[in-house]
Amino acid sequence: MGKDDQLILIVDDEPEMCWALEHILRKTGRRVIKALSGQEALRLAEAHNPALAFVDAKLPDMEGLELAGRLRELASGLRIVVVSGYFYKDDDAVQKALSEKIIADFISKPFKNEDILRSLP
């Protein structure tokens, strides 16, 4: 199955955050699939091969940066953006993930719609 350039995976354990991101992204014509856990995200990514994933840094079953690494192994071309109210962009773990190209971008919560839109390919 080839990569779907219009499909975006949202991974956040807060349904309200999933809804907010979905609302922003659907206005751009993208299609969205959502996961509330890391394991669910891995299953969806394998089944649907999305082009982009917005991943929360803190999930109930794994850290967002760990999930990013596992998603990267699953789909090397997947663009991953971590969205977090827990980490900051200058945190060592975030900087390491950015420099190693595990994640493509980092957005702090609370975010503006423009922050999300700027991360789109």
Q: How far apart are CA 56 and CA 108, in angstroms?
A: 10
**Residues in the chain, how many?**
121
Domains (range + CATH), the chain:
4-118 (3.40.50.2300)
Per-residue pLDDT tens over the stretch 80-112:
999 998 877 889 999 999 999 999 999 999 999
Query: What is the reported pTM?
Result: 0.93
